[in-house]
């Protein structure tokens, strides 16, 4: 089994704005594409065009309808992937040491050559962030695009996770959450970023910015006509249409 580092030099992770995410799944598609054609074994799909398609994804978006205290129902799109926890149970439970957390940046990875696909890490993860690739027989998870963020052959602006780079709404942010002066840390402080399921004690690095409640004034506006009956040209047009 693998021991967790006592401290990490950085805490690279994501900040996801639930107020901005529109649920377009662009992050899911680009994540699938990048991680199928680059780092590690490709993410497999089985019976992709059949009656029961099944595939491996490192990032998924769930949509919920919620009714906050204001009483105005709203849809919240909730992206979920590995949270790169400081106290990652998926690492300490791994019998072969395939799962590990890097001391230099805090990213949790899987050494695919050592993984035997037993699934213990998936059982230990309270967030359901790991998936067994049925064809490859190994566990898969978000890598924060480790092969991309350090790639000096890419332009500087492209050295961020594929999901962040492709998000059309700017709902995903990447940086060092261990640095209180970083842009992501300041964003978390300003917007009251929260941990996912803090009661589990895993100390996730990724943070979520809670959605703002809808404007109750807009929700209470009645869709009433501007006048009781049309006048002038609109009155003539209304009668002409009735006669048809």
- CA 86 to chain CA mean position, Å: 18
**What are the structural domains of the chain?**
12-220 (3.30.70.20)
Question: CB-based contacts of 191: which residues, under 8 Å, 6+ apart?
Answer: 17, 209, 210
Residue 2 has which token pair?
């693998």
Task: Per-residue pLDDT tens, the chain, 244 aa: give them.
Answer: 678 999 999 999 999 999 999 999 999 999 999 999 877 788 999 888 899 888 999 999 999 998 877 777 889 999 999 999 999 999 999 999 999 999 999 999 999 999 999 999 999 999 999 999 989 999 999 999 999 999 999 999 999 999 999 999 999 999 999 999 999 999 999 999 999 999 999 999 999 999 887 665 454 555 555 556 667 766 777 777 777 6
Question: CB-based contacts of 190: which residues, under 8 Å, 6+ apart?
Answer: none
Residue 225 has which token pair?
């006509």
The radius of gyration of the chain's CA atoms, rounded to the nearest angstrom, is 23
């Amino acid at each position: 089994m693998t021991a967790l580092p006592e401290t990490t030099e950085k805490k690279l992770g994501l900040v996801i704005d639930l107020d901005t995410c529109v649920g377009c799944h662009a992050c899911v598609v680009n994540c699938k594409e990048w991680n199928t054609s680059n780092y590690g074994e490709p993410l497999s799909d089985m019976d992709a065009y059949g009656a029961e398609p099944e595939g491996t994804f490192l990032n998924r978006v769930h949509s919920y309808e919620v009714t906050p205290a204001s009483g105005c129902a709203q849809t919240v799109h909730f992206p979920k992937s590995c949270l790169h926890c400081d106290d990652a149970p998926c690492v300490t439970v791994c019998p072969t040491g395939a799962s590990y957390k890097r001391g230099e940046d805090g990213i949790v990875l899987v050494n695919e050559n050592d993984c035997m696909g037993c699934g213990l890490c998936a059982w230990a993860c309270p967030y359901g962030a790991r998936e067994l690739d049925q064809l490859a027989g190994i566990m898969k998870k978000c890598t924060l695009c480790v092969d991309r963020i350090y790639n000096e052959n890419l332009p500087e602006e492209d050295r961020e996770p594929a999901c962040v780079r492709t998000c059309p709404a700017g709902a995903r942010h990447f940086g060092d959450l261990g640095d209180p002066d970083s842009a992501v840390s300041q964003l978390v402080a300003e917007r009251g970023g929260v941990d996912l399921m803090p009661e589990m004690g895993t100390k996730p690095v990724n943070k979520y910015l809670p959605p703002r409640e809808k404007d109750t004034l807009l929700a209470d506006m009645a869709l009433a006509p501007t006048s009781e009956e049309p006048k002038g040209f609109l009155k003539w047009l209304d009668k002409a249409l009735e006669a048809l």
